[in-house]
Amino acid sequence: MVEKLTDADRRGLSALFWSHLNLYGRFELDMSKQLGLGPGPRPRFNSQMIRSA
């Protein structure tokens, strides 16, 4: 006799079916190294910013 799965059974099993998928890709992050991004952009000032300071 075959029993049907309840909603609770399906919720419990869904993690087993989807846990092995990595939809967003995989990358490793080494927290002991810095990213070589270089210097950031220089701030832009207009004359009104300088006068109000």
With helix as H, strand as E and coil as C, how does the chain read?
Answer: CCCCCCHHHHHHHHHHHHCCCCCCCCCCCCCCCCCCCCCCCCCCCCHHHHHHC
- 52, pLDDT greater than 60: no
Are the C-beta atoms of 5 and 13 separated by less than 8 Å?
A: yes
Which is nearest to 27 in space by CA: 16, 18, 35, 38? 35
Site of tokens 């490793």: 28
For residue 1, the model assigns a pLDDT of: 47
pLDDT digits (tens, 9 = 90+) for 5-40: 888 888 888 877 777 777 788 878 888 988 888 888
What is the average per-residue pLDDT within 30-52? 77
